[in-house]
C-alpha cells in the first residue's frame, strides 16, 4: 500500500540520516545492482544488498575464523562472484609505470622490514620508546611534566611500603572508605605489569579498568623501570616493585626455564602488595594484566546466582561479608585462579596474606597459585580436622586463628581458561597459557581473536586500536582479496598443502603494507576441513615494529568498526595479475596491461606494484588480490641465490631478503592447530625458524 511504502521510505531516510550524522569520513556507497566498491564523497549507504550481490570481500567482516556457519547458511547465495579474477583477452589501457614509486617501494621494504633497527610504525610505539628511554624522556612526552617528575621521584623511595603509600596517595584513595555492602567498583583496584605487557597495553588496561569495570581508583604495581616511567609520563598512579639482583632460571616444576628474578618479583610483589593494602585498611580488587573486563565489576555481586560448588560450599556467608572472593577455572569451578581476587581489610585477610608470604618462603619453588589454593582450603578446615596423608602440598604454617570466609566467583562470569568460552554472563576473561609467566604476546593476540581485547585506551595524541580514532584518517588498512574467505588457500591445485605459497604471499602483503604505510589485516589460512590463524604459523616477532598488523578477526569484530553498520569508511580493490592490473571503478572493472621483458628489467615488479597502488591512497581499506604470486613466482622467490639472479627473474631483492628474514613454526600449517581449538600455547612468537 501507499502507506507502507511511505513508511518504508521514511525509515530508510531516518537510517541514512543517522548514518550520515555518525560518519566522520566518506563511506562506501553501493548503488544499483552491486558490482563495485567505490570511494564516494557523499556519506550514507544501504546496509542490505540484493541476493547474490553482497561484496565478496565482506566475508571477512561477516565471518570470524571461528565461525563455521558462514560456510553454510550465511554464504548461500549471498555474495557476488569476485569480479576481478581474470582480465579480458584484449586490454586497451596501458599501465604507466612509476619508477620513482618503485624505488620508494624497495627503500621502504628495506628500511621498515629488513633493516635490524626499523623505525616503529605505530605512533603509540614511538610514544613508548620516547617515554621509557630516560626520566627526561618521560617528562618531555608528558602532558603534566610536574606531576611526572613527582611520580619519578616517588619511584625512587627506598622501601616498597613507601612507594605503595605514594601511589595510593597520588590516586586519592582513602583507607577504610568502603562501606558494606558497597559495590566492588568502590574498592581500590590494582594490577601488576612489566614492559612485555605495558608496551602496548598500559593505557588500554587503565581505560578498561575505569570505563568498563567501573573502578574509581586504580594503582599499577610496575615491575620494571620502563613501565614505571610510562606510568609517570601517562599520569597513571604506580608503585615500582623491581626485582632484586637474582640470576638464573627455575630448574624444575611448572615454571621450569622461567627467570628466577621474574618469579621473585611477580609472586613476591603480588602478595606483599596484597598484605600491605589490607594492613593499611584498603579493601581491594586485584586483576592480572592479561585479564579483560567485558562488564562492570559490580555484576560479580550476583555471581553466585548458580551455586557452582557442591554442598553450598561457595556461600557460607553473604557475598558482601566475605574476606576473599576468588576466581576459578572455567573447566573446574573448585580450582583457584588468582588472576582476579577481591579482599576486604579484615584480621582474617591479614592473617591469610601473611601466611601466604610465609608459605612462599618455606616453599620457594612452588607455584603461587597452588599455595593460594591450598591456603584457602587450610582456612576452611576445622582446627581439629586431621590432614590427609595424601595431601602432600598441605601448608606448613599453623592453622589460622582467624579463618577467612571466602567463595569462588562463578566460573562463567569470571572466565579463566586456555580455551575461554565467553557467554552472555561473562564479566571478565582471563586468557591462560600452558606455563605461568610465559608468552605474553600469545595471550594478547588470543584475547584479540576472542574479542576480549579492550582497544580504546592509548597514549596521549595517538590513535587507538579500536574506536573512532582508529578511523579518523591517521590509520589505514590493507587486506587480502580475491580468495576464499579472503584467506590464503592451501587446498587448491596451485599450492596444495604448500607452505611456501603461504609464506611468500605473507611476505608480499607485508611489503605492500610497508610501502603504503598501512596496517596489515592478517589473513586466515584455509586448508582442507578448517580455517587457521596465521600467528600459529608466522613468528610475528620476526616482522618487527616497522609494519603494524591486526588480528585475523579484526574486521569481524564490531568493536573495530567505523560505526554500527560499516566496518570501514571507504574501500578500493586492486587485482595484481601477471601482465595486467585490474581496479574496480564506478562503471565496473577496469584493466591496464604492462609489458614485461625477458629477462626482467631490474626493479620492474616494484614499479608495477607502486603504479598499481598509487591511485588508491585515500581509501581506508585497500584490498589486493595477489594473483601473480602463484607457484612459479614462489619458486623464483625461494630459489634465486643472489641479487643479480633474483632481479633477472623479476623478483625484487628486497622482497627476497624479507622472505628470508621471516621466521615460521613448521614448513607448512599444522593441521591440528585449527582456529576453533586455538590457544595461547600455539603462538609462534619468538619460536620460529627460517623458511
Residue 530 phi, psi dihedral angles, 5° rounding: -140, 170
C-alpha closest to that of 287 among 355, 161, 185, 366:
185
Grid coordinates given for 279: 594492613
Q: Measure the CA–CA gap between 452 and 291, rounded to whole angstroms.
A: 9
Reference 279, options 346, 212, 204, 373; nearest CA is 346
Q: Average model confidence (pLDDT) for the chain?
A: 87
Alpha-carbon gap, residue 497 to 631, rounded angstroms? 12
Average pLDDT value for residue range 359-381: 93
State residue 39's pLDDT score: 35
pLDDT in tens, 205-226: 999 999 999 999 999 999 999 9
CA dihedral 227, 233, 238, 242 (to 10 degrees): 30
Mean pLDDT in residue range 16-35: 35
Q: For CA atoms 422, 428, 434, 440, give the dihedral sign.
A: positive
Higher confidence at residue 182 or residue 176? 176
Give the model's pLDDT for residue 485.
87
The one-character DSSP state at 111 is I
* Residue 648 CA: distances (Å) to CA of 100, 600, 636, 652: 20, 5, 10, 9
Angstrom CA distances, 513 to 61, 344, 665, stand at 20, 51, 22
Query: Helix, strand, or coil here: 70?
Result: helix
pLDDT at 581: 96
Q: Please, which residues have CB within 8 angstroms of residue 308's CB and are 6 or more apart in sequence?
A: 314, 328, 333, 408, 410, 411
In this prediction, residue 178 carries a pLDDT of: 72
Q: What is the pLDDT of residues 488-530, one digit of tens each?
A: 999 988 888 999 999 999 999 999 999 999 999 999 999 988 9
Residue 260's pLDDT band, with cuts at 50, 70 and 90, is very low
User: Which pLDDT belongs to residue 565?
Assistant: 87
- Average pLDDT of the residues in 541-551: 97
| Residue 588 to residues 52, 83, 203, 483, 652, Cα–Cα distance (Å) | 16, 8, 44, 19, 31
Dihedral angle, C-alpha 471, 472, 478, 479, nearest 10 °: 20
Reported as a pLDDT band with limits 50, 70 and 90, residue 247 is very low
pLDDT digits (tens, 9 = 90+) for 567-612: 999 999 999 999 999 999 888 899 999 987 776 788 899 999 999 9
Residue 33 CA: distances (Å) to CA of 12, 50, 225, 570, 641: 18, 7, 59, 18, 50
Phi then psi for residue 241, to 5 deg, are -135, 70
Q: pLDDT value at position 180?
A: 66
C-alpha to C-alpha distance for 648 and 604, rounded to whole angstroms: 10
Residue 34 has pLDDT above 50, yes or no: no
Query: Any idea what the Cα angle at residue 573 is, between residues 572 and 578, rounded to 5°?
Result: 145
Across 367-395, average pLDDT: 92
What pLDDT is recorded for position 110?
Answer: 96
Residue 298 CA to its chain's centroid (Å):
25
**Coil, helix or strand for 271?**
helix
pLDDT at 46: 41
- What sign does the dihedral 122-123-128-134 (CA atoms) show? positive
Q: Residue 70 above 90 pLDDT? A: no
For residue 238, CA distances in Å to 137, 189, 220, 316, 570 come to: 18, 12, 5, 36, 41
Contact 465, 453 (CB under 8 A): yes
Distance between CA 261 and CA 528 in Å, rounded?
Answer: 45
Q: SS3 of 248, please? A: coil
pLDDT band at 73 (very low <50, low <70, confident <90, very high): low
Secondary structure (3-state) at 549 = strand
Question: What would the grid cell of residue 162 be?
Answer: 613507601
Report the C-alpha gap between 620 and 90 in whole angstroms. 31
Residue 44: the pLDDT is 36
Cα distance between residue 521 and residue 552, in whole Å: 6
Predicted local confidence at residue 78, as pLDDT:
83
Give 336's pLDDT tier (boundaries 50, 70, 90): very high
Nearest partner of 447 among 197, 129, 618, judged by Cα: 197
What is the reported pLDDT for 681?
87
Can you give the three-state secondary structure of 458-513, one letter per residue?
CCCCCCCCCCHHHHCCCCCEEEECCCHHHCEECCCCCCCCCHHHHHHHHHHHHHHH
Q: Which residues contact 666 (CB under 8 A, 6 or more apart)?
A: 499, 537
Query: Which DSSP category does 581 fall into?
Result: E
C-alpha cell at 357: 608470604
**Tens of pLDDT, residues 136-180:** 999 999 999 999 999 999 999 999 999 999 999 999 999 987 776
In the chain, what are the domains? 96-122+468-682 (no CATH), 123-247+255-450 (3.90.550.10)
What pLDDT score was predicted for residue 484? 87
Could you tell me the three cell numbers for 297?
A: 565489576
The cell numbers describing 186, all together, are 568502590
- Return all residues near 7 (Cβ < 8 A) that are at least 6 apart: none
Nearest Cα residue to 123 out of 589, 584, 459, 383: 459
Helix (H, G, I), strand (E, B) or coil at 582: strand
β-pair type (406-408, 332-343)? unpaired
**Per-residue pLDDT tens for 621-661?**
999 999 999 999 999 999 999 999 999 999 999 999 999 99
**Alpha-carbon gap, residue 586 to 140, rounded angstroms:** 48
Instruction: Supply the pLDDT for residue 182.
Output: 76
Name the pLDDT band for 262 (thresholds 50, 70, 90): very low
Of 27-36, 128-137, 204-213, 380-389, give the lowest mean pLDDT range. Answer: 27-36
Beta bridge partners of 341: 286, 326
Amino acid at each position: 500500500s501507499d502507506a507502507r511504502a511511505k513508511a518504508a521510505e521514511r525509515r530508510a531516510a531516518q537510517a541514512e540520516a543517522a548514518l550520515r550524522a555518525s560518519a566522520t569520513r566518506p563511506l562506501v556507497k553501493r548503488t544499483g545492482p552491486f558490482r563495485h566498491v567505490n570511494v564516494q564523497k557523499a556519506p550514507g549507504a544501504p546496509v542490505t544488498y540484493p541476493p547474490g550481490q553482497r561484496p565478496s570481500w565482506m566475508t571477512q567482516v561477516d565471518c570470524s575464523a571461528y565461525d563455521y556457519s558462514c560456510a553454510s547458511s550465511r554464504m548461500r547465495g549471498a555474495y557476488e562472484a569476485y569480479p576481478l579474477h581474470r582480465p579480458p583477452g584484449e586490454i586497451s589501457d596501458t599501465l604507466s609505470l612509476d619508477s620513482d614509486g618503485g624505488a620508494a617501494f624497495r627503500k621502504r621494504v628495506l628500511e621498515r622490514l629488513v633493516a635490524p633497527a626499523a623505525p616503529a610504525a605505530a605512533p603509540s610505539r614511538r610514544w613508548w620508546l620516547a617515554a621509557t628511554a630516560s626520566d627526561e624522556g618521560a617528562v618531555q612526552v608528558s602532558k603534566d611534566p610536574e606531576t611526572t617528575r613527582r611520580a619519578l621521584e616517588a619511584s625512587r623511595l627506598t622501601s616498597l611500603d613507601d612507594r605503595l603509600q605514594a601511589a595510593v596517595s597520588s590516586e586519592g584513595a582513602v583507607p577504610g572508605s568502603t562501606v558494606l555492602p558497597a559495590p566492588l567498583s568502590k574498592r581500590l583496584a590494582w594490577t601488576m605489569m612489566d614492559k612485555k605487557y605495558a608496551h602496548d597495553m598500559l593505557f588500554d588496561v587503565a581505560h578498561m579498568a575505569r570505563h568498563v569495570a567501573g573502578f574509581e581508583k586504580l594503582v599499577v604495581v610496575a615491575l620494571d623501570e620502563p613501565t614505571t616511567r610510562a606510568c609517570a609520563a601517562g599520569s597513571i598512579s604506580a608503585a615500582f616493585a623491581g626485582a632484586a639482583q637474582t640470576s638464573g632460571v627455575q630448574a624444575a616444576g611448572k615454571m621450569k626455564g622461567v627467570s628466577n628474578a621474574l618469579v621473585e618479583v611477580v609472586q613476591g610483589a603480588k602478595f606483599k602488595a596484597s598484605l600491605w593494602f589490607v594492613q593499611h585498611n584498603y579493601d581491594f580488587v586485584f586483576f592480572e594484566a592479561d585479564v579483560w573486563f567485558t562488564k562492570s565489576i559490580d555484576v560479580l555481586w550476583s555471581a553466585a546466582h548458580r551455586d557452582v560448588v557442591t554442598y553450598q560450599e561457595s556461600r557460607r556467608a553473604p557475598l558482601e561479608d566475605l574476606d576473599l572472593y576468588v576466581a576459578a577455572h572455567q573447566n573446574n569451578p573448585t580450582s583457584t585462579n588468582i588472576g582476579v581476587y577481591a579482599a576486604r581489610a579484615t584480621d582474617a585477610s591479614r592473617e591469610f596474606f601473611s601466611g601466604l608470604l610465609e608459605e612462599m618462603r618455606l616453599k620457594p619453588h612452588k607455584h603461587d597459585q597452588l599455595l593460594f589454593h591450598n591456603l584457602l582450603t587450610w582456612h576452611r578446615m576445622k582446627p581439629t580436622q586431621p590432614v590427609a596423608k595424601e595431601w602432600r602440598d598441605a601448608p606448613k604454617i599453623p592453622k589460622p586463628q582467624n579463618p577467612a570466609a571466602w567463595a569462588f566467583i562463578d566460573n562463567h562470569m569470571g572466565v579463566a581458561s586456555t580455551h575461554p568460552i565467553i557467554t552472555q554472563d561473562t564479566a571478565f576473561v582471563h586468557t591462560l597459557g600452558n606455563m605461568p609467566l610465559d608468552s605474553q604476546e600469545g595471550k594478547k593476540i588470543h584475547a584479540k581473536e576472542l574479542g576480549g581485547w579492550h582497544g580504546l585506551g592509548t597514549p596521549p595524541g595517538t590513535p587507538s586500536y579500536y574506536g573512532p580514532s582508529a578511523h579518523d584518517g591517521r590509520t589505514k588498512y590493507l587486506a587480502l582479496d580475491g580468495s576464499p574467505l579472503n584467506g590464503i588457500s592451501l587446498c587448491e591445485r596451485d599450492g596444495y598443502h604448500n607452505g611456501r605459497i603461504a609464506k611468500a604471499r605473507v611476505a608480499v602483503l607485508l611489503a605492500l603494507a610497508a610501502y603504503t604505510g598501512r596496517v596489515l589485516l592478517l589473513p586466515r589460512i584455509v586448508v582442507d576441513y578448517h580455517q587457521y590463524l596465521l600467528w600459529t604459523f608466522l613468528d610475528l616477532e620476526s616482522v618487527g615494529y616497522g609494519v603494524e598488523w591486526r588480528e585475523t578477526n579484526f574486521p569481524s569484530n564490531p568493536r573495530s568498526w567505523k560505526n554500527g553498520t560499516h566496518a570501514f569508511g571507504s574501500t578500493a580493490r586492486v587485482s595484481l595479475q601477471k601482465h595486467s592490473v585490474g581496479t574496480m571503478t564506478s562503471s565496473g572493472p577496469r584493466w591496464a596491461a604492462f609489458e614485461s621483458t625477458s629477462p626482467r628489467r631490474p626493479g620492474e615488479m616494484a614499479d608495477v606494484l607502486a603504479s598499481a597502488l598509487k591511485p588508491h591512497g585515500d581509501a581506508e581499506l585497500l584490498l589486493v588480490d595477489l594473483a601473480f604470486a602463484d607457484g612459479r613466482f614462489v619458486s623464483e622467490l625461494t630459489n634465486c641465490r643472489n641479487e643479480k639472479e633474483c632481479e633477472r627473474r623479476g623478483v625484487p631483492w628486497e622482497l627476497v631478503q624479507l622472505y628470508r628474514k621471516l621466521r615460521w613454526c613448521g614448513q607448512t600449517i599444522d593441521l591440528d592447530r585449527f582456529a576453533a581449538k586455538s590457544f595461547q600455547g600455539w603462538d609462534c612468537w619468538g619460536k620460529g625458524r627460517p623458511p
